[in-house]
Chain A
Amino acid sequence: MKTKRNISPVRILLHIVLIIGSFLMVFPFLWTIGSSLKDMTQIFAIPPVWIPNPVVWQNYIDSFNAMPFDRAYWNSFYITAVVVVAQIFTGSMAAYAFAKLKFKGSGVLFILFLATMMIPKQVTMIPLYLIMDQLSWLDTHLPLIIPGALFNAFAVFLLRQFIRGIPRELEEAAIMDGANPIRVYWSVILPLIRPALAAMSIFIFMGTYNNFIDALIYLSSPQNFTVPLLLNNFKGLYVTNWSYMMAGATISVVPVIVVYLFAQRYIIEGITLTGIKG
């Protein structure tokens, strides 16, 4: 079937609607960046000033001086990195056991894993807080790292789906050569599920990086804050100083958007994959 090449009015209308839609998606970000570069006169101007003039870079210097954004970035980044890397191994190990190693109780245990996905995090949040308190882990990053690194039922489920799809012959060839399960896991399974691991990593990265409520309940010293928590506190301090607040928002958002622009295909495909398989 050949599609017709003529441009129909419906198509043009559709493109116009989509362009307006795209603009509405991007405008809040542009407006934030714009506002972050204005002085108070421009912020209060009616009608609004669309392009800042003069451009006030000082807002950024002041924001960085007021709050340790660089420190927060480092905290957020390393917490997320540790959780993701740990989950790549712990998640795929458990997934491998469920997918390929037949053992008694495997089915029941797997259902138990799945069932925990139904528990809203607010239920376990309070006892976990009390446990972390007992361990003297409050105001450290451990409550944000350890649970995420050791337990993720969704990751186990997702990776199990992929590992089940690996043909038996591939492992059997390795087993014939005398490889034990560790060797099979390391040199057969892990390399084959790299796309699934990438998708899972993106998913966990976003969830961990943007986690607000845990940071809110566990962290109290500003030098320990993650980016979302720092931005929330920054907002509390400068609630009427809109250029500072928008500078803070820009500092929090722009690096993420830049990464997104470079890796958008992988990010969108990864998220789609976790969504469909889940």
Chain B
Amino acid sequence: MQKGNAKWAFFFLTPQLIGLIAFAIIPLVSAFVLSFMKWDGFGERTFVGIQNYVSQFSQSDFWTATYNTILYTILTVPVGLFLALVLAVALNKIKGKEFYRLFFFMPVVTSSVSIAVIWMWILNGDLGILNQVLAMIGIEGPNWLTNTSLVMISIAILSIWWQLGYNMVIFLAGLQGISKSYYEAAEIDGASKTQQFFKITLPMLSPTTFFLTIMAIIGSFQVFDQAFVLTQGGPGKASYTLVYHIYQNAFIDFRFGMSAAAAMILFAAILVITLIQFSLQKRWVYYED
């Protein structure tokens, strides 16, 4: 039996192995090679060394995209996770938890494009319901989507709204995993609810927080759909993100080498940030065993 295992394993692995080679390894290597080439998709491919990387780093569009992407990450990740945590704690022991959860999770199942179209109407400067409601209480609402300094904030707001339910249910699952005995012991020792929250809930929840932070940062570095549908990266380049830049380079400008270089830079950035988070985790993430 042991002897024949390799043969059987190979049989079971074949489909995913083909996939791994054809759709992950070959494309990854090709992207790496392509990032050192100049190619418009039709003519000759010429090797240009690190030229594409140099061009990216000396291009204002690249830095605008980087700035907007980091801004989006800063705007969405802390606020989004904080709100989700507060909600999860509030829902954890309340009557009608399932009822509330139903509503908060609803946006999660809808597509980014529908979300963007829906919010395009809500945030419309002249007719949007948000500004109309603000007008009723005497505030003149801004042009959420056409104001250069506001547009990323607007995209961040709808993205937080879109993902809130997901982060909330993961936090809820984390909360449910904390053993009641800790709280009972703390109760006997006379710890207040606030102390219990900071000394038990937060540390015990830290693996969940860690997981969600990693996923949220990786996701926010890849923001594209909302910016593409809502504002086409505008006004000007005010909502032009890194993935937008990659898309623009490849599929609008047909500079595949440049696009591949930008994608490799994005990959490196995500890798470095994730590794930093992993190296910092022992300072604040608490694992029970």
Query: Which residues of A pack against B, CB within 8 Å?
Result: 1, 11, 14-15, 17-18, 21-22, 24-26, 28-29, 31-32, 35, 43-44, 46-48, 89-91, 93-94, 96-98, 101-104, 106, 109, 112-113, 116, 118-131, 146-147, 149-153, 156, 175, 180-182, 185, 206, 209-210, 212-213, 216-217, 227-229, 231-232, 235, 242, 245-246, 248-249, 252-253, 256-257, 260-261, 264-265, 267-268, 271-272, 275-276, 278
Contacts and interface: CB of A to CB of B under 8 A. Distances in A.
B2 A102 contact: yes
A190 to B, nearest CB: 12
Given A17-B90, A120-B270, 12 more contacts: A18-B87, A22-B103, A28-B122, A47-B136, A94-B17, A122-B222, A122-B247, A127-B27, A228-B114, A235-B117, A246-B117, A275-B173
Contacts of A116: 20, 24-25, 28
Nearest to B207: A276
Contacts of B90: 14, 17-18
A28 B87 contact: no
Given A123-B264, A227-B111, A213 B170 contact: no
A264 B118 contact: no
B279 interface: no
Q: Which 4 pairs across A and B sit closest by C-beta, in order of nearness?
A: A151-B19, A150-B19, A127-B30, A124-B27
Contacts of A112: 20
B263 interface: yes
Contact of B127 (A44, A109, A249): A44
Contacts of A127: 26-28, 30-31, 34, 260
A102 B271 CA distance: 31
B155 interface: no
B92 to A, nearest CB: 11
Interface on chain A toward B: helix, strand, loop, or mixed SS?
helix
A175 B1 contact: yes
A276 B208 CA distance: 8
Given A118-B270, A123-B264, A271-B166, A101 B250 contact: no
Given A18-B91, A124-B31, A228-B114, A242 B121 contact: yes
Contacts of B108: 271
Interface string B81-118: 00000010011001010101111111111111110011
Nearest to B7: A103
A253 B118 contact: yes
Interface stretch (B8-16, B55-63, B72-80): B8-16
B6 interface: yes
Interface in B28-49: 28, 30-31, 34, 41
Contacts, number: 274
Given A94-B16, A126-B263, A276-B173, A210 B117 contact: no
Contacts of A245: 117, 120-121
Nearest to B225: A212
Contacts of A98: 13
Interface of B: 1-2, 5-6, 8-13, 15-20, 22-28, 30-31, 34, 41, 87, 90-91, 94, 96, 98, 100-114, 117-122, 124, 127, 129, 132, 136, 161, 164-166, 169-170, 172-174, 184, 208, 211, 218, 221-222, 224-225, 228-229, 243, 246-247, 250-251, 256, 259-260, 263-264, 266-267, 270-271, 274
B12 A181 contact: yes
Contacts of B256: 126, 130
B166 to A, nearest CB: 7
B250 A126 contact: yes
A206 B109 contact: yes
21 contacts: A18-B87, A18-B100, A22-B100, A22-B103, A28-B118, A94-B16, A104-B6, A116-B24, A120-B263, A123-B31, A123-B267, A125-B246, A125-B263, A126-B31, A150-B15, A150-B19, A210-B110, A213-B247, A231-B113, A232-B229, A264-B102
A46 B114 contact: no
Contact of A128 (B13, B23, B120): B23
Given A147-B19, A228-B113, A21 B87 contact: yes
Contacts of A235: 117, 120, 229
B9 A106 contact: yes
A252 B111 CA distance: 9
A156 B14 CA distance: 13
A28 to B, nearest CB: 5
A119 B100 contact: no
